[in-house]
Amino acid sequence: MSKDRYQVFYEQHRERIPVFVHPWYLDAVCDEGEWNACIIEEKGKITAVLPYFIKKKYGFRYITMPPFVKFMGPYFANPLTLTKQHDLLQQLMIQLPKTAAFTQNFYYNITNWLPFYWQGFQQTTRYSYQLNVSDLNQVYDSINRNMRRNIKKAQAELTVSAENLPLIFYDVNKLSFERQKLLIPYTFSQFQQQDASLAAHSARQVFFAKDNAGKIHAAAYLIWDAQSSYYHLSGDDPVLRQSGAGILLIWEAIQFTKEKLGLNTFDFEGSIMPNVEAIRRQFGAVQVPYFTVWKYNSRLYKSLQYLKRQV
């Protein structure tokens, strides 16, 4: 029933809620658990929702972020006074199922987490980076001079294509994790399921940068909703990184956002990693804060998570 009511909320507000919490997207990415939503209705109208994802592991049930989802958190039907926000957030929290832990990234427009604090939750401020791409000439002029030089060099040596090749993209994406001696955190099956859903809703484009010999230097995966595009996933060949292909694909995705999608916001979707963050800044992007809110309800689960981080 909650999912049905959430679908109603989505139909009414799909133009302003991010793609990450569209019901069809949650259906595609929540394969390792299940998603649902807390719903507040007043006089027959839905005034607030809180979608969540429950996962089970090692005997624990906990609320966390699903794969490929950057933001969840609460959403309101209309602008509200702070007093009304407090009331609705408290009502949403009461509806949350009992779990060992809760962790969510709230969307940018949720700047009030006080009711969560009052109930023992904690918060960390994280950052993403956004570009206003309404004027592409202005965007290009704002890019760091050395970065512009790299773009021009890559344009002279590489060709960018938009192709529906999910397996090839996944393999290139995987190379970036291997370069950092990390395991890619999702299987190809999971990626393919997400990709198929986005493709069915005309909400993604895959870019490849290739040389004259047909070798793929880098790949980028752009998704979007009615408000913004998101530089969702990317990867490059470690042997060919010096070609500037990754920088070129960012610029191509920015142009695609404005010229093909007609959107004015390009979202880098994080990151707080120093080397990656520096590239966002050099593109002239503006820092945008968002909250990660969490709470441990099980001491044993908290201890196990702490030990896991020490390994």
List b or e across 277-304, with b for residues whose CB sees 16 or more CB atoms inside 10 angstroms: bebbebbbbeeeebbbbbbbeeeebeee
Helix (H, G, I), strand (E, B) or coil at 181: coil
Token pair of 77 as six digits: 């039907």
What distance in Å separates the CA atoms of residue 287 and residue 126, rounded to the nearest whole number? 10
Identify which of 149, 148, 153 has the alpha carbon closest to the alpha carbon of residue 137.
148
Strands 229-236 and 265-267: parallel
Residue 5: which residues within 8 A CB-CB, separation 6 or more? 37, 39, 41, 46, 49
- Please give the domain boundaries of the chain with CATH numbers for all domains: 2-125+291-310 (3.40.630.30), 134-263 (3.40.630.30)
**What's the pTM?**
0.95
Q: Is 2 exposed, middle or buried (0-12, 13-18, 19+ CB in 10 A)?
A: middle
Mean pLDDT, to the nearest integer, of 33-57?
96
Token pair of 195 as six digits: 């990709």
- Each residue of 246-286: pLDDT tens digit? 999 999 999 999 999 999 999 999 777 777 788 888 999 99
- Each residue of 183-236: pLDDT tens digit? 999 999 999 999 999 999 999 999 999 999 999 999 999 999 999 999 999 999
